[in-house]
Structure 1
Amino acid sequence: MPPAFPPSTTRPRLRRAPRGTLLAVLLALAVQIGWQASRPPPRARAQDLPPPPSLASLRLAALGDPVALSKATMLYVQGFDEQAGISIAWRDLDYHKVAGWLRRVLELDPRGQYPLLAASEVYGAVTDPARARLMLDFVYARFGEDPDRRWPWLAHAALVAKHRLHDLPLARSYARAIRLQATGPQVPPWARELEIFIAEDMNERDSARALIGGLLRSGQITDPHELRFLSDRLDQLNADHKP
């Protein structure tokens, strides 16, 4: 039987590339490898926190469950300082945008407390005084919307202003807002009395005595232990005031 294919002598022969061409290819490859090796390693670049979307668009995206979306949004904001291959310090974030996002979270879930906690205890702990003040002012602005439930975060803001920012007038303004606006039965005595102690720290003993007297006369204090404490404190201040 004749062979199915023609003899091998009829197949095309592979030609070798000229030596010069091979050397040129190898040289180009070596240059490419060397250039890639000399380049610095790729660096991750931080992305800026975008502005918060409108409340209307967030409510539309919530699909009838704004509380769930508020929690997811809060996780997004908190996780923004950890991006792929890079960690962003809080002091490098745009705090105006952070405050905007926290405001949106509260608008989606007005009964939620976590945005205020994050503002006063997390973002407010930054070493940059300007950024810290922005967060404390955010807490103060939102406090008035629901003072009987949001007073803990303004009380913490007052302590941050006093001990970390060393701004006693600012701390007293926050404490005064608690005394005047957080009047519900669930507000503890120490929160109502915070302004008194700050006034004493400011060496304003007359103001402290006036505050205690006002609380005693207002009828707002009904607990006998608190009444006794305030009366004893007033007696001590009066004794210290005598020449």
Structure 2
Amino acid sequence: MREQERSLRSVPKTVFGLLIISLCCQIVWHQQLPPPSLEIQALASPPPATLLRLSSLGDSIVTAKILMLWIQAFDNQKGQFLTYSQLDYLALQQWLAEILSLDPGGQYPLLAASHLYSAVPDPVKQQQMLEFVYQQFFVDPARRWPWLTHAVIVAKHRLRNLPLALKYAQALATHTNPQMPRWAQEMQIFILEEMGEWQHAQVVIDEMLTSGQMIDPEDIEFLTQERNRLRNGSIEKNLK
């Protein structure tokens, strides 16, 4: 049999009184609260690497991926979307370095640095990210060369800094490996040509041809033609 519902009249008046008092207290308490802060939180420097490794509980790769997701979501704060230019790039660089130390085989921090964080309209911050990619390249050239080739392109076309692009291209050429394609090793030749260093470019080509590393007939033919073109152009330039 269904239990009969009690009417409101049967509820003691003290209960109603306590309910009204609690509602009033809640209203007063909310009025005393400070307005919600819309202040943007700055990106702080990461904790020591030893602390990050201890907190990973032996699974540093998972921790690295979680931290990378957190870094990428940092530009969304309390409904406000920050531009990358508003981030502290020194702290950002430190975080990316720590994430790579937790997962040395990970590629996403370098992809983010070379493609995302270098796309800001701030030449100083752009170069900060490119230098980060450049420094990290030497840790593992066999796997990190793609990000440095992109740094060459950014330095040349966005920053219009040919000496900087040449610096990155020369690092690629002096740290060749079987995984690196030939075009990545040849980038310095075209940068030298654009800088007007035609004779230097010819010397680089001669060194590549005489090193014994060139075994593909098409590569040899291409570099030979490029050397002859530069030589003829240099002669014509001197005759003018």
Alignment of 1:73-222 (within 5 A): 73-181=67-175, 183-222=176-215
CA contact 1:44–1:85 (8 Å) conserved in 2: no
In 2, Cα distance between equivalents of 1:129 and 1:239: 37
Inter-partner Cα distance in structure 1 for 2:180 and 2:223? 16
Post-superposition Cα deviations, 1:118-159, rounded to whole Å, max 9, x if no partner, equal: 111100111100111111010111111111111111111111
Contact 1:116 1:153 in 2 (8 A): yes
* CA apart distance, 1:241: 2.1
SS at match of 2:106: coil
Q: Residues of 2 paired with 1:125 and 1:220: CA distance?
A: 36
RMSD: 1.3
Q: Distance in 2 between matches of 1:185 and 1:227?
A: 17
Deviation at 1:54, TM superposition (A): 1.1
Partners of 2:106 and 2:121 lie apart in 1 by 26
Offset from partner CA, 1:162-199 (integer Å, 9 cap, x none): 10011000000000000001x21111011000000000
Tell me how far apart the structure 1 counterparts of residues 77 and 216 of structure 2 sit (CA, whole Å): 51
* Distance in 2, Cα, partners of 1:70 & 1:43: 30
Partner of 2:223: 230
Q: Is 1:240 paired with 2:233?
A: yes
Cα separation, 1, equivalents of 2:133 and 2:36: 40
- What is the TM-score when the length of structure 2 is the normalising length? 0.82
Q: Secondary structure at the match of 1:203?
A: coil
Q: Which has the larger radius of gyration?
A: 1
Contact 2:134 2:168 (8 Å CA) reproduced: yes
Identify the residue that residue 44 of structure 1 maps to in structure 2.
38
1:58-112 CA-partner distances (Å, limit 9, x unpaired) = 1111111111111100001111001122111111110000000000010001111
Identity of aligned residues (%): 48
Paired residues, number:
203
Amino acid at match of 1:179: A
Amino acid across the alignment from 1:205 = W
State the AA in 2 paired with 1:215.
M
Query: What TM-score does the superposition give when structure 1 sets the normalisation length?
Result: 0.81
Instruction: Give the whole-Å Cα distance in 2 for the aligned partners of 1:43 and 1:225.
Output: 64
Q: Secondary structure in 2 aligned to 1:197?
A: helix
Q: Would you say the 8 A contact 1:69–1:108 is kept in 2?
A: yes
| 2: CA distance, partners of 1:220 / 1:92 | 46
